[in-house]
Amino acid sequence: MSGVLVIAEQRRGELRPVSLELLGAAQALGGLPVAVAVLAPNPARFVPALSVPGVAEVITVELAISEFDPDTFESAVGALIRARAPAVVLMAHSVDSFGYAAALAARHGYGFATDVFKVERTGGELIATRGGYGQKVNVEVDFPGRDTVILALRANVFKPPEGTAAPVVSAFEAPAVESRSLGREYIEPPGGDDVDMSTAEFILSIGRGIGEEAKVAQFRELAQALGATLGCSRPIADAGWLPKSRQVGQSGKTASACKLYVAMGVSGAIQHLAGMKHVATIVAVNTDAEASIFSVAKYGIVGDIFEIAEELRRHF
Amino acid sequence: MKILVAVKQVAALEEDFEFRADGRDVDGDFLVMDLNEWDDYSLEEAVKIKEACGGAVEIVAVSVGPPTVDEALRKCLAKGADRAVRIWDEAMRGSDSIAVARILAAAARAEAPDLLFAGVQSSDQAVAATGIATAGFLGWPHAAVVSQFTYTPGAATAVLRRELEGGLLHELEIRTPAVLTIQLGINTPRYASLRSIKQAAAKPIELRTLADLSLNAAEVGEAGSSARVRRMYVPDKGRAELIEGSAAEQAKRLAAIIRESTGAA
């Protein structure tokens, strides 16, 4: 085939939005034919959503289990790659792909790059770009001598195709596999208090820069005065200074309604930025002028968060 | 029982830095090294298992890198690792996650642990692949982004929770020996006491070479990597419009932005 094989991602019966973004990215690969595979019980139900312009084929792979399982996915996707011999395999840079993509690439000697946010193919040469050194630099990589390259793409970067199309639909039979792990159940993230970050329009968020738990109170009071919902980055929730329900960013609650995000002392780990980049107005306050958060913020203040917080409080 | 904890000495950039002459990496003079944040948690998880069963567990910290990596390994010894192994050969320079995984897999075959822990990712390159690629080379069961882990030494399986996007958890049971990549927040890593830091300074760090692990030069370094770095460059800096002035002036402007964005008068 030597085309592009896209691995769509579903969770609990819902296609994850990144699946369509992968299809958008596939179209930028110099006109290679694009096939998208979906692995799930009763996979045909996902065919309509994946039938978008640019997709030549939807491959349904029937699995006995609906949840992600490393051995099952490694075996099924591995068999699919061997059967189709794609030049490029696109998957999401997601927790599920963390669980098998590297093992697959390692075992079969495929070219491999993760968290890719730019991909191009010129004159048959594939070039992927990712971040390095805490996203301070961009790293351009290629894959000399590799017939197949697996790229795990960053979510919320590539534009999903619009419209509908009528691709060929075919079924692929995954080889039987005896999995060495057994899924038990999903557990909803623990609450802690009754806040719903997904409906908050204005979030005032605190990060590692606050330094100690005793300082949380100052920002709680400030958030209240501003009419903001108090949120936090991962280290604050991990330390137990605020409940996990207040954590925003990719591994925290999706702050989908957020329009104004004031981040104080949040340096901006990649997962945090990825989870917040949809916000229209981001204001970052940080002592470190080089903090990654300034690269996604609309406004930046390089300064002491306590001093700024104190001064800001006077205005409300 | 034995737990192998794979750790990495990560590099942060100094504020002003320069690229190497070939433009394919940052000049080593501008890097500040430290133990990867995730590895602190995976080491702690191993120490917790050891403490819970009264000590019949050997914890071996292993890292691939030049002599400067000893510093990170001593930190592991101070925090509870029983032994530290550093693997190095000049041919390993430039190894990506896959090449490092091949080296770690060879070390794991020699050590034959019951569990292998690695961090979910490293704070510098954030590839999130080394642990699971190691499992791939070993052919061992594996799970990524583990935020809760329950294992009784000697048991044939472990129970864990994977932390998915949005904080959703997925619980599963996995056979051992297994490779687990450990997520931040799974525990609260301890600080090393002054006494344990002193003791760690006196402990040996065991060295392993390519030959010790029966690897050849073509399997490691750039030759054994899954991608080739063409160039590194500083991206166009984001669009943040910096608000200048005194703290009072900056706060005043911030207040105006907040009023404007929230529609408050």
* DSSP-assigned letters across all residues of chain A: --SEEEE--EETTEE-THHHHHHHHHTTTTT--EEEEEEESSGGGGHHHH--TT--EEEEEE-S-SS--HHHHHHHHHHHHHHH--SEEEEE-SHHHHTTHHHHHHHHT-EEEEEE-EEEEETTEEEEEEEETTTTEEEEEE-TT-S-EEEEEPTTTSPPP-S----EEEEEPPPP---SEEEEEEEPPP-SSS--GGG-SEEEEE-GGG-SGGGHHHHHHHHHHHTPEEEE-HHHHHTTSS-GGGBBSTTSB--TT--EEEEES----HHHHHHHTT-SEEEEEES-TT-GGGGT-SEEEES-HHHHHHHHHTT-
Does a structural domain hold residue B235? no
- In this predicted model, what pLDDT tens digit does every residue of A125-170 receive, in sequence order? 999 999 999 888 999 999 999 999 999 999 988 999 999 999 999 9
Which residues 190-219 of B are in CB contact (within 8 Å) with A? none
Instruction: Please provide the DSSP assignment of B58-90 as one string.
Output: EEEEEEES-GGGHHHHHHHHHTT-SEEEEE--G
pLDDT in tens, B202-216: 999 999 999 999 999
Kindly list the residues from chain B whose CB atom is less than 8 angstroms away from the CB atom of residue A132.
124-125, 232
Decide if B255 is inside a domain.
Answer: no
- Whether B61 and B119 have beta carbons less than 8 Å apart is answered as no
Nearest chain A residue to B135, by CA:
A103
Q: Looking at residues A6-11, what average pLDDT do you find? A: 97
Asked if A103 and B142 come within 8 Å (Cβ–Cβ), the reply is yes
Partner residue opposite A132 with nearest CB, options B98, B125, B174: B125
Cβ-defined contact of A99 to B144 (cutoff 8 Å): yes
Burial of A220 (0-12, 13-18, 19+ CB in 10 A): middle
Chain A closest-CA separation from residue B175 CA (Å): 6
- Contact between B132 and A254 using a beta-carbon 8 Å cutoff: no
Structurally, chain B folds into a number of domains equal to: 1
Q: How far is CA A316 from the centre of its chain?
A: 36
| % of chain A with per-residue pLDDT over 90 | 79
Q: Which of B12, B13, B97 sits opposite A102 (nearest CB)?
A: B97
Cβ of A78 under 8 Å from any chain B Cβ?
no
Distance CA B247, CA A187 (A): 44
Q: How confident is the model at residue A191 (pLDDT cuts 50, 70, 90)?
A: low
Contacts of A113 in chain B (CB under 8 A): 226-227
Token pair of A90, please? 């696109």
Note whether B97 and B120 are within 8 A (CB).
Answer: no
Residue B263 domain-assigned (yes or no): no
Mutate to test the interface with B, among A146, A203, A299 (most CBs of B within 10 A): A299
pLDDT of residue B265: 44
ipTM confidence score: 0.94
B240 within some domain: no
Residue A238 in contact with partner chain B when CB distance is under 8 A? yes
Mean pLDDT on A36-43: 98
Cβ-based contacts of A316 with chain B (< 8 Å): 255
B27 interfacial to chain A (CB closer than 8 Å):
no
Q: Determine, yes or no, domain membership for B112.
A: yes
Q: Do residues B120 and B38 make contact, with C-beta atoms less than 8 angstroms apart? A: yes
Closest residue in A to B37 (Cα) is A235
- Tell if the CB–CB gap between A134 and B184 is shorter than 8 Å: no
Residue A90 has pLDDT above 80, yes or no: yes
Domain CATH number, residue B46: 3.40.50.620
Look at residue B126 and tell me if it is in a domain: yes
Among B97, B137, B168, whose Cβ lies nearest the Cβ of A189?
Answer: B168
Full pLDDT tens readout for chain B, 265 residues: 999 999 999 999 998 999 999 999 999 999 999 999 999 999 999 999 999 998 799 999 999 999 999 999 999 999 999 999 999 999 999 999 999 999 999 999 999 999 999 999 999 999 999 999 999 999 999 999 999 999 999 999 999 999 998 888 999 999 999 999 999 999 999 999 999 999 999 999 999 999 999 999 999 999 999 999 999 999 886 678 999 999 999 999 999 999 999 886 4
Look at residue A1 and tell me whether its pLDDT is greater than 60.
no
Max CA separation in chain B (angstroms): 72
Is B263 touching A (CB cutoff 8 A)?
no
Confidence of residue A10 (pLDDT cuts 50, 70, 90): very high
What is the span of the domain harbouring residue B88? 2-219
Residue B27 is assigned to a structural domain of this protein? yes
Nearest to B261 among A74, A111, A281 (CB): A281
Is position B107 within any domain? yes
B181 contacts A98? CB cut-off 8 A: yes
B123 and A134: CB-CB below 8 Å?
A: yes
Q: Do A115 and B124 touch (CB under 8 A)?
A: no
The full set of domains in chain A, from first to last, is 4-172 (3.40.50.620), 197-315 (3.40.50.1220)
- Residues with Cβ < 8 Å from B237, sequence gap 6 or more? A294, A295
Please name the member of A106, A182, A250 whose beta carbon is closest to the beta carbon of B98.
A106
Give percent above pLDDT 70 in chain A. Answer: 97
Residue of B nearest to A298 (CA): B240
pLDDT in tens, A248-291: 887 666 788 999 999 999 988 877 887 888 899 999 999 998 88
CA distance A16 to chain B (A): 11
Q: What's the CA gap between B171 and A234, in Å, rounded?
A: 21
Q: Residue B113: is the preceding peptide bond cis (ω within 30°)?
A: no
> Is B20's Cβ below 8 Å from some Cβ in A?
no
pLDDT value of position A196: 82
